[in-house]
Structure formats: structure tokens, C-alpha cells
Amino acid sequence: MSLINNLLRHFGTKVFLTYLALILVMLLIVGVAMRLALPDALGRHMQGMGGMGGQANGPGAGPDLALSLRSASNEAFLLAAGVALLVAVGLSVWLSRELAAPLQRITAASQALAVGRYEERVEVSGAPEAEQDEIGRLALSFNQMAAELEQTEALRRQLIGDVSHELRTPLTAIKGYVEGLMDGVVPANADTYQQIHREADRLQRLVADLQELSRVQSGGFVLEKKPVLVAELFQALSKRMAKQFEDKAVRLEIREAGDLPMISGDEDRIGQVLLNLASNALQYTPPGGRVMVAARQQGSFVEFEMADSGSGIPAEHLPHIFNRFYRVDKSRSRAEGGSGIGLTIAKHLVESHGGRIWVESQGAGRGSTFRFTIPLVRH
Ligand code: ADP
């Protein structure tokens, strides 16, 4: 039974069986029609000969009978073939339409897609994918592709909206200062120029972040994977961040990682993720707080941990924190220069290594813990 089901899942088998069925139907029609038409035709031919003075039992009866039989069977066959041909043409037209219909639907849908109607889908029978034939599976993958294109298009539109929104704030501020300067309502002093400079700086950082985001999202960067020592990553992090932590009086506590096996990854990129998480931790932890960095082996991965005693993240924001431009406290972060892109970049970098990244927080004011995994070197 499963063999038959298996065979029926192939479009080729369906076409073959259709032809076979057509041939059998034709044979059946020819057989039945000849059976019905032959006695009658034979009777007429024999009668015709008798009428012409033929002797049924005379010496000429043999050839006459044979002649009658041949003429009668010719006539019956022509009739049967005519009927069978008509039925076959009718059936073929119907069957080819049946077989071509799904392909026509896919063609129509792909043309709709080509002109930007991304919501277009092909109707597919409700059977699971494994039970569909090749055309059913083609329709299913077409629908999947259309859904992905629709999502990409929605993201693209959203991105344009987000970017315009992000650019508007600093641009409005710069314009305001310059207009104020031109009208003489804003004093032309160092403070004003510094404000303008700060806004221009924010614009520059936003553009740089966007460029980086587009690079990591499009996969337009090469990971230079090699065996990396976690302890070395931690050393580099400490070197880069120690002064900033000291300046803000936040304790940076980096745990021992010397006995961990090597991980496989791009040292700079993993360093970038650690730096990003550490900068965030520092940014959202008030003076007197602490940030702890650790790593431990979890199966065939090393799990990194960055735990801070800072502002924490309310539960309702946790699922969105890795989304582009997402900030918990929009006004505060913007004032401090965060574009809400850093974690999106970190997520892409971790995932391109085959790891994952997530965050835990007990809620506002109770600190946050970011974790991410990177695979070990395989032996
Ligand atoms: P930003 O450049 O704004 O820091 P990120 O993508 O790095 O952008 O972070 C997104 C948002 O996640 C931040 O605006 C902040 O609200 C929240 N966030 C990130 N890290 C922390 C942290 N350690 N503690 C509290 N909130 C955090």
C-alpha cells in the first residue's frame, strides 16, 4: 500500500498511469463497440450478398463469407475507432487541463510576485508535504518563497521608516541650532558648537552602525575562523574596557578561563560581541555596581556570561531586546547615544558562528545577564 502511495507521489507516475488508463479505455471502447456493431454489420453484408444472388452453401460461400466478414469487421472497427477517438480526445483535453492547471496557477502567482504582489499564494491541497507530488511540493516551496519575500519587503519598509525616524531627531536638532544661530537667538559660543558637534557625532555613529548592520545582515563579511583561546579574549576585553570601568567606578570582574578548551571562531568578531555587551553593561550600571564576565563549557560549546548589577530589563521588553532600534527607555538611550543596533549586530555575529544569544533579567533595577554560545574546535 505504501509502495503505491509512494509511486502516486510522483508526477511522472501520474502521467504514466493517465496514459495507461487512456489506452485501456480506448481498447475497452473498441472491444465493446465492435462486439455490438459486428453482428449487425455482418448481417447486413451477408444479406446484401444473398440479395445479389449469392449461394450461401455453394462452392463460392467460403470466399463470400470471408469477404463479408472482412467488410463487416472493417465497418465495425471504423465505427468503434471513431467512438474511441472521440472519447480519447475528450479525455485527453480534460486530463491535460487537470495536469496543467496547477502549473498555470503557479505561473500566474509568480507573475503576480514579479510585479510586487507579495501576498499572492498558490492553492495547495491540505495534504502534508510528504504526500504531495512534485507539483504540490513546487507549489508549497513557491508559497514559502512568497512568504519570505513578503516578510523581507515588510522589513525593508520598516527599516526605511526606522532609519528616517532615527535620522530626523539629530537633524532637527542641528537645524534648530543653526537657525537659532542665524536669527541670533542662540549664542554663538563653545557650548552651542559642542551641542551641534554632539548631534553630528550621533548621526555619524548611527550611519556607521547601519553600515555594520547591513554588512552582517547580508552576510557580506567573511568570518576568519580559527582556534581561539577564551582567556585571550578576556584579556583583550579587560585591556580595552578597564579604564572606562574605572572612570565610572563600576567593578569589572573577569573570571578565570585558562582551562577552557579552544573555541572555533573569528577572534575579532567574538571580541566585538564581548565589547558590545560590556559597553552596554557599563552604560546601564550605575557607579558602585559591578559587571561579571565568565565562560564555561556546555557540551560542544563555550557559554559566555556577562552579568551586571545595573538597571535590569523589564520582562515585557526581553523578547524584543535584540530587535533593530529597540530601546527600553527610548529618550534616555538616545540622550546617551545608543542607537539600539548593537545587540542586533551581536546576535548576527553569534549566529553566524553557529551559536545563540539570549538575555535574562529579574526586572527593572535588578541587573541583567546576557549569555551567548560559541562552538568548540572540533577534533
Ligand atoms: P544601544 O546602542 O541603545 O545600547 P543595543 O542594541 O546595544 O542598543 O541595546 C538595545 C537596548 O537594550 C538598549 O537601548 C537598552 O534599553 C537595553 N539594554 C542592553 N543592554 C542592557 C543592559 N546590560 N542592561 C539594561 N538594559 C540593556
How far away, in angstroms, is 276 Cα from ligand 1 center? 10
Residues of the chain with pLDDT > 90, as a percent, come to 45
More confidently predicted of 174 and 135? 174
- Alpha-carbon distances, residue 137 vs 101, 127, 269 (angstroms): 15, 11, 39
More confidently predicted of 207 and 62? 207
Query: Does pLDDT of 55 surpass 60?
Result: no
Q: Note if the pTM is more than 0.85.
A: no
pLDDT at 331: 57
**Which of 321, 336, 360 has most ligand 1 atoms within 8 Å of its beta carbon, as the pocket-test mutant?**
321
pLDDT at 49: 67
How far away, in angstroms, is 326 Cα from ligand 1 center? 8
pLDDT at 292: 97
How far away, in angstroms, is 306 Cα from ligand 1 center? 13
Query: Does pLDDT of 53 surpass 50?
Result: no
**Average pLDDT rounded to a whole number, residues 149-167:** 85
**Average pLDDT rounded to a whole number, residues 173-180:** 94
d(CA 296, CA 302): 6
Query: Does pLDDT of 333 surpass 60?
Result: no
Query: Does pLDDT of 334 surpass 70?
Result: no
pLDDT at 338: 67
Amino acid occupying residue 85? L
Full strand arrangement of the beta sheet holding 251-254: 251-254, 290-298, 301-308, 368-375, 357-361
Query: Does pLDDT of 64 surpass 80?
Result: no
**Average pLDDT rounded to a whole number, residues 209-227:** 84
Any idea which of 3-7, 79-83, 276-280 has the lowest mean pLDDT?
A: 3-7
> Measured from the CA of 306, which atom of ligand 1 is nearest?
23
326 lines ligand 1 (CB under 6 A): yes
284 lines ligand 1 (CB under 6 A): yes
* Contact present, 309 and 251 (Cβ < 8 Å): no
**Which of 206, 217, 273, 280 has most ligand 1 atoms within 8 Å of its beta carbon, as the pocket-test mutant?**
280
d(CA 367, CA 102): 56
Q: Which cell numbers hold the place of 166? A: 532615527
The phi and psi torsions of 251 (rounded to 5 degrees) equal -80, 130
d(CA 22, CA 179): 84
CA dihedral sign, ordered 348, 349, 352, 357 = negative
* Contact present, 240 and 272 (Cβ < 8 Å): no
pLDDT at 54: 45
pLDDT at 67: 84
Helix (H) or strand (E) holding 297: strand 290-298
355 lines ligand 1 (CB under 6 A): no
> Measured from the CA of 322, which atom of ligand 1 is nearest?
6
> Measured from the CA of 312, which atom of ligand 1 is nearest?
25
Q: Which cell numbers hold the place of 102? A: 496547477
pLDDT at 18: 82
**Average pLDDT rounded to a whole number, residues 138-154:** 90
Query: Does pLDDT of 314 surpass 80?
Result: yes
More confidently predicted of 3 and 132? 132
pLDDT at 60: 53
Query: Does pLDDT of 376 surpass 60?
Result: yes
pLDDT at 59: 53
Query: CA torsion angle for 37, 42, 44, 45 (degrees, to 10)?
Result: 130
pLDDT band at 240 (very low <50, low <70, confident <90, very high): very high
> 37-40 long-range contacts, Cβ below 8 Å, gap at least 24?
37/75, 37/76, 37/79, 37/80, 38/72, 38/73, 38/76
- Alpha-carbon distances, residue 219 vs 208, 307, 348, 349 (angstroms): 17, 29, 9, 10
How far away, in angstroms, is 325 Cα from ligand 1 center? 10
Which residue, by CA, sits nearest to atom 13 of ligand 1?
Answer: 327
Query: Does pLDDT of 209 surpass 60?
Result: yes
pLDDT at 373: 97
Which residue, by CA, sits nearest to atom 20 of ligand 1?
Answer: 280
The H-assigned helical ranges of 9-60 are: 11-51
**Average pLDDT rounded to a whole number, residues 317-332:** 78
More confidently predicted of 257 and 7? 257
d(CA 293, CA 31): 87
Q: What SS3 state is found at 252? A: strand
pLDDT at 337: 53
Query: Does pLDDT of 370 surpass 60?
Result: yes
The H-assigned helical ranges of the chain are: 2-8, 11-51, 61-114, 134-183, 190-217, 230-248, 267-283, 330-335, 342-352
pLDDT at 113: 92
- Alpha-carbon distances, residue 132 vs 80, 136, 141, 143 (angstroms): 38, 5, 12, 14
Residues facing 254 on adjacent strands = 293
301 lines ligand 1 (CB under 6 A): no
Pair type for strands 301-308 and 290-298 = antiparallel
pLDDT at 202: 87
Mean pLDDT (the chain) is 86
Query: Does pLDDT of 237 surpass 50?
Result: yes
